[in-house]
Amino acid sequence: MTRTTLLCVPFAGAGPSFFHPWRELAADRWRVTSVELPGRERRILEEPYRNVQEAAKGVIDEVVADLGEGGRTVLFGHSLGAVLAYELAHLLGERGVHVERLVVSGSPGPWTQRERRAAGLPDEEFLARVEEFAGFRHEALDHPEMRELILPVLQADCEMHESYVPSTDEPLAVPICSLRGADDGLVSAEEARQWRAATTADFTWAEFPGDHMYLVGAGREVLDLIARQSLSEQQ
């Protein structure tokens, strides 16, 4: 039996390494892999994208090659990663790659833009706004050398996210599950449920304890939920 690939799409400022612990948590349930965007980790010297659609088109060939032929794929994305995963789901459909489910996290529906923004603010105001959004401050930003590397990518990611407009009004024919932290002050429960309109297939949603970045400590719980949904779909 072919193992399902769980393709993870990082949130603003993050790279594939965030999801490395998920490989062990997933055990033999899935092959966990991640989208590698320019400007971070192994691609740190490359210019980051500032447009979600350009980013999706820029990585789709690598994603298709990584997924291979005939496999089963679940897409997962948090915040910026959610809308990027949504665009990738459309592109994968055009390539004939079957997506079993799209799991979006910490994101309003794709047609809803954030009212309070961080892009374009001076550095300190920008970081304060991002800290307010996320509910925490990454300790690396307090080290000048690391900040010099991370800040431009984080600014590009925020610009990319806050200027996002979907490439199409056509909903996916892929089941969507929308997740959020119960205390998320950035994405309301109503906004998380807006994803219902983004699919003609089944829609489910769930909440976890925590704020916008609940994901940091909830990897096992998120994977267990995806596993339960996949199992119920097969029965």
Locate the domains of the chain by residue range. Answer: 4-234
Class for the domain spanning 4-234: alpha beta
Tokens representing 213 are 């970045």
Contact 104, 75 (CB under 8 A): no
Give me the pLDDT at residue 89, please.
97
Q: What is the pLDDT of residues 113-152, one digit of tens each?
A: 876 777 777 777 777 777 776 655 666 677 777 777 778 8
Q: What is the pLDDT of residues 81-120, one digit of tens each?
A: 999 999 999 999 999 999 999 999 999 999 998 767 777 7
What is the rounded CA–CA span in Å between residue 235 and residue 230?
Answer: 9
79 assigned to active site: yes
Inter-axis angle of helices 123-134 and 144-162, to 10 degrees?
A: 70
pTM for this one? 0.91
- The pLDDT-based confidence of 233 (bands split at 50, 70, 90) is low
* Active-site hit among 34, 79, 107, 230: 79
